[in-house]
Chains A and B, each alone.
Chain A
Amino acid sequence: MTAFARKPDLSIGAYRVWQRNRDVLLQLWKSEFAAQLVEPIFVIFALGLGLGQFVVLDNGEDYVQFLAPGILAMFPMFACVFECAWGSYVRLEMQGSYRAVLATPVSIDDIITGEILWGTTRAVLNASYILLVMTVLTPWLHMVQSPLALLVIPAAVIPGLLFAAISICFASIARAMSQFSYFFNLVINPMFWFGGAFFPIDQLPRWAQILGWFVPLAHVTSLYRGLLSGHLHASMLVDLGWLLVATVFFYMLALKGMQRRLVE
């Protein structure tokens, strides 16, 4: 436990690693970005408007309004998981970039922190973009009902850090690229379906609610639901606290996992 709680060995090197990823994105932005930009729009239209015709909510909301916070929580999560699970594994094992960087004054903790900050950056950019799309569509679809929605952008930092750290944890134990299907099918996909995006968790049986409480994405959705509607609730502080604690835990675990993986 003392090893787990050790102080990370950090320097400006973490920022250097972040800069490297930024430079790569600036070179590849056309191929990387375009696909990610259209997907949330499809989901808004297909699920929100298409499926929404068959869904009647108690409070008289349109289904697309219910769906909005979930979309804001999910797609940034995907952007960041893609970057930090698959991307880190490629840099760790296929390209050998981590070992190349370790020959410089940059430490393992710097690398992992830089990668997590980069994953977070992608998540925040993605959340900002989706919020913009939702705001533009608001005269018709009423997805953004309060100026408090702007707080989603700074708030997106926390799930960004969390999902980036969880992804790095998995990359640090993966032995082959094929194992990522476990991560996506057993961790990320259940979060997608049971993260409170598509249906409210509080109407499920008690045992499912308890289980749902441990799904990180559920707390993100709940937080954003309050911000988009402008109805703040004390339970949002619990969500925030839950996310902060989980973020610190998985960050330390990611550092430890990569230390174990990279120190020979």
Chain B
Amino acid sequence: MTQPAIVAQDLVKVYDTLTAVDGVSFSVADGECFGVLGPNGAGKSTTIKMVSCFSPITSGSLQVAGFDVRRNPRAVKRVLGLVPQGDNLDTDLPVRKNLEVYARYFNLSPMEAKPRIDEALDLFQLQEKADSKVDDLSGGMKRRLIIARALVNNPSILVLDEPTTGLDPQARHLVWQKLRLLKARGVTMLLSTHYMDEAAHLCDRLVIMHRGKILTHGNPHDLIREHAGENVLELRMDKAGRSPAIAAVRGIPDVAIEEVEDLVYVFGGGETAVRIAAEIGDPHRAFLRPGNLEDVFLRLTGRGLLD
């Protein structure tokens, strides 16, 4: 068994008065895609910043690729590929030159860098744009270029901070496809996102954070089974219409009923939920669907707006 790619123990980050990360422990295995989920302000980005040596840790310990982030940030950054949240490409340089200059920061010679840059441009379908200005790229292309840039040092760990925020569905699916390909090649990934489908799609394991703490961790399937049940029944009916249905599921062990304004969610209703949906027979009034990660997320972090 090789050593884990990332080990965080009792990680704490305090900004002046705010405790952004409050005693977080997790470990990411080699070759794994590990997700960090949470609403805005949960501490995801701060965790990512500590792993990528941007933000010094307040207390606890953090090892990345076997190196201590406090003692050896340069060694950590040498084996890390970082895909930041915002676009920070060098707009003074054309596409290919962006990658060349970036490779040079890793002390790669032009000879070493060239095949990697060609490969990264090919992989992200940017070869024809090699001489374009960065400002002329679409949002999706910029994102692809940023991921391509994160690969020029051949990182063993790829850290992605909300990599598809702001992309249209086509661009997002293309990015996912490339990330799956990288994963298949054995690249370890640490991914922060608030898109649940993204996490379900890519992550082997994940943690859900809230107010600086980890609420739960596990693989997406187990988390869905545990917190949302196999199916979720959504009832969109007035009080009179929905009370017989609620009465029918109330006795089921481990069932959870959540009323949100005009909507009632029945989690873990099992066979009874299937029967109720069939009896009402109108999917606009009683909609049965599989449980998903979004259910888990909303149940654990609450439905209130956080900022």
Binding site for B on A (CB under 8 A): 11-13, 16, 19-20, 23-24, 27-28, 95-97, 99-107, 263-264
Contact = CB atoms under 8 A, between A and B. Distances in A.
B250 interface: no
Interface stretch (B34-42, B78-86, B207-215): B78-86
A27 B92 CA distance: 9
Contacts of B104: 16, 19-20
B74 interface: yes
A263 B55 contact: yes
Contact of A103 (B77, B89, B97): B77
A104 B153 contact: yes
Interface string B85-97: 0111111110001
B53 to A, nearest CB: 8
Contact of A104 (B88, B90, B105): B105
Contacts of B56: 263
Interface in B92-122: 92-93, 97, 101-102, 104-107
B63 interface: no
Given A104-B102, A263-B55, A23 B93 contact: yes
Contacts of A103: 52, 54, 77, 80, 82, 84, 150
Contacts of B52: 103
Given A24-B93, A105-B107, A106-B105, A100 B88 contact: yes
A138 to B, nearest CB: 38
A6 to B, nearest CB: 15
Name the interface size band of chain B.
Answer: 20 to 34
10 contacts: A11-B74, A19-B104, A20-B101, A28-B92, A95-B88, A95-B92, A102-B54, A103-B52, A104-B105, A107-B73
A95 B142 CA distance: 13
B183 interface: no
B49 interface: yes
A104 B97 contact: no
B299 to A, nearest CB: 31
B73 to A, nearest CB: 8
A27 B96 CA distance: 14
Given A105-B77, A105-B78, A264-B55, A97 B105 contact: no
Nearest to B20: A264
A27 B153 contact: no
Q: Kindly list the 7 A-B residue pairs having the minimum CB-CB distance in the complex, ordered from nearest.
A: A96-B88, A104-B105, A103-B82, A100-B88, A264-B55, A105-B74, A24-B92
Nearest to A103: B82
A238 B86 CA distance: 49
Given A12-B107, A23-B101, A264-B55, A100 B90 contact: yes
A23 B93 CA distance: 8
